[in-house]
Amino acid sequence: MTVSIEGLVIFAFAVVLGVIVAKIVGIYIRRSLADKIPKNELNLILKIVNVSMVAVFVLFALPFVGVNPSGLIAAGGFAGLVVGFASRSVVANLVSGIFLMAERPIRIGDQIMVGDIAGFVEDIQILSTIIRTYDGLFVRIPNEKMFTSDIVNLVANPVRRFEYVVGISYKDDAKKAIEIIKKVIDEHPFALKNPEPQIFVNELGESSVNIVVRVWSPSSVWYDVKTELLWKIKVELDKAGIEIPFPQRVVWLRRERDELGKDVST
Amino acid sequence: MFVPIELRKEDGRLIYVRGEIRKILPECEIIVNPVEPINLPKNVTRYLEIDFPPVLIKPNAIETIYLKFPIEIGVFAKEGDKITVVDVFTFDKPKYTLYGTPKNGVVCRWFWSEVYYEIPEVDPLKHGVLKLVIKNGGDWVEVGKVVLDCYAMKIYYSEFASCWAEMKILSKISAETTFVDKPIIGGMKKAIELYTTRRLIGRSFTMEWGLK
């Protein structure tokens, strides 16, 4: 098979042209749809359009470098076997990526947990998914691993619930404490009105009467609300003189005396 | 009520101050008007739910009621026909809720209102008046809440803010709500909206998780 210089130049020109056309079409699509569809879906469309357009230009240009696209199909049998075996994990990641995009358990921007990695989904690529952990680390997870792992999407549903256990001392009035906690929750804008918060005495503990507080909040601000409310509850209980006790144990010491009444306890 | 904003001129620039917020603006027109009540403390939704004492609607009837709704106040800078938001604040205490189920529902700004049959008096810095036309083409139905898509909200104002919405009853548990782009009385001015660019996304909302 001989390849002429002209053929190579035409092939290179076609590939470059394909990239440029894909870029221009991408910009046009981005401008047209930016306000109308979510960012992650737009990115997915852009990727598909980009890859498809470049592939079309490459296919058209292949005959100029002596490759007949229809011949590729015939040669695909054996070559496919060899390449497929060599690139098994690449193909597995690719197929997993396609399934992930179709099933869509996660979207760009979601907060997720995969194994012991938690953070924001930065990108879902053909072969891998990029996570930015809460402490700012870049983590690349192969799509095959993503597809076979348990994915916890922290923001898939519009709301989430969190729970505290607030222990008050036995001498304090639990009913009053519940009223105070309820008022603090009512005043927080993102502690949802419905589903109603639940506040009740759950356990008579060793050192405290334990009140369970369950609050629903929009998933996007869930963590902020959780951290803000707990301290507000503590402050308001303090103001009302309600004690949040330390773990404590009452120890009784028995005094032993001899016949003369002298203390002989050790 | 004291409005805690200050605008002064310094070295040919405008200094906008509200509490800890301080912004330097070029000389331009400043507009203050009521805006969609879904921005504070942070924008988490596009929906507003107003709960009210249940109203029983006769079969094949149209009922018009007035409700109060919360407003936020937007400060805009305008030059020619270009407008930008400088600040948004509120005198009301925002509260949010979930309409629907934790899996499929929508987070909404929540508000409680009494039902009025004529335009009620409102605190114009906190609340506006919503004219709600309920159209019932079916059997008796009880309505105790309305959920509206604020991205399509049309606020008009004069002495107070107002908007007009329609609720088309689809069944005993579902309805479609839409804003009407008209003032509820004459002489009102249309407020600058924060969400005009997203209007194409959808102008109506289907309440499918109950009407009370």
Q: Decide if B22 is inside a domain.
A: no
- Residue window 146-205, chain B: list those with CB within 8 Å of chain A: 197-198, 200-201
Sequence-distant (6+) residues with CB within 8 A of A212 are A163, A164, A165, A198, A199, A200, A201, A202
Q: Decide if B19 is inside a domain.
A: no
Are A12 and A32 contained in the same domain?
Answer: yes
Chain A residues with CB-CB distance to B197 below 8 A: 35
Confidence of residue A11 (pLDDT cuts 50, 70, 90): confident
pLDDT at A86: 65
Q: What is the percent of chain A with per-residue pLDDT over 70, rounded to a whole number?
A: 89
pLDDT at A265: 65
Sequence-distant (6+) residues with CB within 8 A of B58 are B136, B140
Give A89 to chain B, closest Cα distance, Å.
35
Q: Please determine, for residue A76, whether its predicted confidence score (pLDDT) is greater than 70.
A: no
Q: Decide if A63 is inside a domain.
A: yes
Are A184 and A115 contained in the same domain?
Answer: no
Q: Decide if B1 is inside a domain.
A: no
Give B94 to chain A, closest Cα distance, Å.
5
Mean pLDDT estimate for chain A: 86
Chain A residues with CB-CB distance to B44 below 8 A: 190, 218, 220-221
Q: From the list B95, B103, B107, which residue is nearest A218 (CB)?
A: B107
Q: Please determine, for residue B199, whether its predicted confidence score (pLDDT) is greater than 70.
A: no
Contact B97 A192 (CB under 8 A): yes
Confidence of residue A82 (pLDDT cuts 50, 70, 90): low
Chains A and B form CB pairs within 8 A to the count of 51
Chain B residues with CB-CB distance to A190 below 8 A: 41, 44, 96
Confidence of residue A72 (pLDDT cuts 50, 70, 90): low
A265 contacts chain B (CB < 8 A): no
pLDDT tens-digit series, residues A209-266: 999 999 999 999 999 999 999 999 999 999 999 998 888 777 888 777 777 777 776 5
pLDDT at A262: 77
Q: Please determine, for residue B197, whether its predicted confidence score (pLDDT) is greater than 70.
A: no
In this prediction, residues A167-192 reach a mean pLDDT of 96
Q: Decide if A91 is inside a domain.
A: no
In terms of pLDDT, which residue wins out, A211 or A5?
A211
Tell me the C-alpha distance between B94 and B10, whole Å. 34
Q: Please determine, for residue B76, whether its predicted confidence score (pLDDT) is greater than 80.
A: yes
pLDDT at A258: 77
| Number of neighbouring beta carbons within 10 Å of residue B109 | 28
Chain A residues with CB-CB distance to B99 below 8 A: 194
Q: Decide if B4 is inside a domain.
A: no
Contact A194 B44 (CB under 8 A): no
pLDDT tens-digit series, residues B19-37: 899 999 999 999 999 999 9
pLDDT tens-digit series, residues A41-63: 777 778 778 888 888 888 888 88
Q: Please determine, for residue A5, whether its predicted confidence score (pLDDT) is greater than 90.
A: no
Contact B94 A189 (CB under 8 A): yes
Q: Please determine, for residue B152, whether its predicted confidence score (pLDDT) is greater than 80.
A: yes
Confidence of residue A3 (pLDDT cuts 50, 70, 90): confident
- State the residue range of the domain holding A57: 5-75
Contact A36 B200 (CB under 8 A): yes
Q: Please determine, for residue B78, whether its predicted confidence score (pLDDT) is greater than 70.
A: yes
Model pTM score = 0.79
Q: Decide if A83 is inside a domain.
A: no
Q: Decide if A9 is inside a domain.
A: yes
Give B197 to chain A, closest Cα distance, Å.
7
pLDDT at A83: 63
Mean pLDDT estimate for chain B: 93
pLDDT at B18: 93
B97 contacts chain A (CB < 8 A): yes
Sequence-distant (6+) residues with CB within 8 A of A156 are A105, A106, A110, A219
Structural tokens at position A20: 């440029």
Confidence of residue B84 (pLDDT cuts 50, 70, 90): very high
| Number of neighbouring beta carbons within 10 Å of residue A133 | 12
pLDDT at A80: 63
Using CA coordinates, name the residue in chain A closest to B45: A218
Q: Residues of A74-90 as b/e, b for ≥16 C-beta within 10 angstroms? A: eeeeeeeeeeeeeeeee
Give B143 to chain A, closest Cα distance, Å.
18
pLDDT at B121: 96
In this prediction, residues A126-141 reach a mean pLDDT of 93
pLDDT at A55: 84
Q: What is the percent of chain B with per-residue pLDDT over 90, rounded to a whole number?
A: 89
Are A195 and A169 contained in the same domain?
Answer: yes
Domains held by chain A: number: 3
In this prediction, residues B135-154 reach a mean pLDDT of 95
Domains held by chain B: number: 1
Q: For residue A179, what is the enclosing H or E element? A: helix A174-187
Are A146 and A180 contained in the same domain?
Answer: no
Give A190 to chain B, closest Cα distance, Å.
6
Q: What is the percent of chain B with per-residue pLDDT over 70, rounded to a whole number?
A: 96
pLDDT at A15: 87
Q: Decide if A163 is inside a domain.
A: yes
- State the residue range of the domain holding B78: 33-207
Q: Decide if A262 is inside a domain.
A: no
Q: Decide if B185 is inside a domain.
A: yes
Chain B residues with CB-CB distance to A192 below 8 A: 96-98, 107
Contact A194 B98 (CB under 8 A): yes
Q: Decide if A227 is inside a domain.
A: yes
Q: Which of A18, A52, A75 is the last residue of a domain?
A: A75
Contact B98 A220 (CB under 8 A): no
Q: Decide if A62 is inside a domain.
A: yes
Structural tokens at position B119: 């335009």
Q: Please determine, for residue B201, whether its predicted confidence score (pLDDT) is greater than 70.
A: no
Tell me the C-alpha distance between B137 and B169, whole Å. 7
Q: Which residue from B103, B112, B101, B96 is spatially nearest to B47, judged by alpha carbons?
A: B96
